[in-house]
Structure 1
Amino acid sequence: MIEVQNVSKRFGSFTALHDVSFRVEAGEVYGLLGENGAGKTTLMRMMATILRPTQGEIEIEGFSVTKEPEVVRRRIGILFGGDVGLYSRLTARENIAYFGSLYGLQKAQIAARIEHLSRVFEMEPFLDRPVGPFSRGMRQKVAIARTLVHDPAVILLDEPTTGLDVTAANLFRRMIRMLQEEGKTILFSSHNMTEIDKLCKRIALVHRGRLHYAGSVDGLRERYGMHDLDELFMAVVEGSDR
Structure 2
Amino acid sequence: MIEILGIYKNFKKIEVLKNINFNVNNSEIVGLLGENGAGKSTLLRIISTMISPTAGTVHVNEYDLLENSKEVRKNIGVLFGNEVGLYEKLTARENLEYFAKLNSMSDTETKNRINELVEQFKFEDYADKLVGTFSRGMKQKIAIARSVIHNPKVVLFDEPDSGLDFKSAKIVFDFIEFCKENNKSVIFSSHSMENIKLFSDRIVVINKGEVVKIFNVKEYQEKYSNKEINNMLFNLV
For Structure 1 versus Structure 2, the TM-score category normalised by the shorter chain is: over 0.9
Match of 1:174 in 2: 174
Q: Which residue of 2 aligns with 1:47?
A: 47
Letter in 1 for 2:65: V
1:148-190 deviation per Cα after TM superposition (whole angstroms, max 9, x unaligned) = 1111011001111111111111111211122211111111112
Q: Which amino acid aligns with 2:68?
A: E
**Equivalent residues in 2 for 1:122-161, closer than 5 Å:** 122-161=122-161
User: How far off is 1:221 after superposition?
Assistant: 6.6
Moved more, 107-116 or 39-48: 107-116
Letter paired with 1:168 = S
Alignment match, 2:183? 183
Which blocks of at least 5 consecutive residues in structure 1 are unaligned?
238-242
Q: Write the distance in 2 (CA, Å) between the matches of 1:79 and 1:47.
A: 12
The one-letter code of the counterpart of 2:87 is: Y
Q: 1:11 is aligned with what amino acid?
A: F
Partner of 2:80: 80
Q: 1:219 to 1:17 in 2, by over 3 A?
A: farther
CA contact (8 A) 2:26 2:180 kept: no
Q: 1:53 to 1:129 in 2, by over 3 A?
A: same
Q: Which amino acid is 1:155 matched to? A: V
Deviation at 1:226, TM superposition (A): 5.7
**Distance apart, 1:198 and its partner CA:** 0.8
State the Cα distance separating 1:215 from its structure 2 match. Answer: 3.6
TM-score (norm 1): 0.93
Pair 1:35-2:67 in alignment: no
**Counterpart secondary structure, 2:226:** coil
Query: How do 1:1-242 and structure 2 match up within 5 A?
Result: 1-218=1-218, 227-228=226-227, 229-237=229-237
Residues 197 and 203, structure 2, Cα contact 8 Å, conserved in 1: no
TM-score, reference length from structure 2: 0.95
Aligned to 1:240: none
Work out the CA distance in 2 between the residues paired with 1:174 and 1:32: 18
2:202 touches 2:214 (CA, 8 Å); kept in 1? yes
Q: What is the aligned-residue identity percentage?
A: 39
Deviation track 1:89-148 (CA, whole Å, cap 9, x = no partner) reads 010011111111111111221111111111111111101111001012211111111111
Which aligned runs of 4 or more in structure 1 are off by greater than 2 angstroms? 217-223, 225-230
The separation in 2 between residues aligned to 1:32 and 1:53, in whole angstroms, is 18
CA shift for structure 1 position 217: 2.6
Aligned amino acid, residue 104 of structure 1: S
Q: 2:222 & 2:11 partners in 1: Cα distance?
A: 37
**Residues 22-42 of structure 1 deviation map (CA, whole Å, 9 limit, x = unaligned):** 111111011111111110000
Q: Tell me how far apart the structure 2 counterparts of residues 155 and 143 of structure 1 sit (CA, whole Å).
A: 13
> Hey, what's the Cα distance between the residues in 2 that align with 1:226 and 1:113?
42
Q: CA deviation at 1:83?
A: 2.7
Q: Which runs of 5+ in 2 are unaligned?
A: none
Q: 1:230, CA displacement in angstroms?
A: 3.4
Structure 2 CA distance for partners of 1:101 and 1:43, relative to 1, 3 Å: same
* Amino acid across the alignment from 1:120: Q
Aligned-residue offset at 1:191 = 2.8
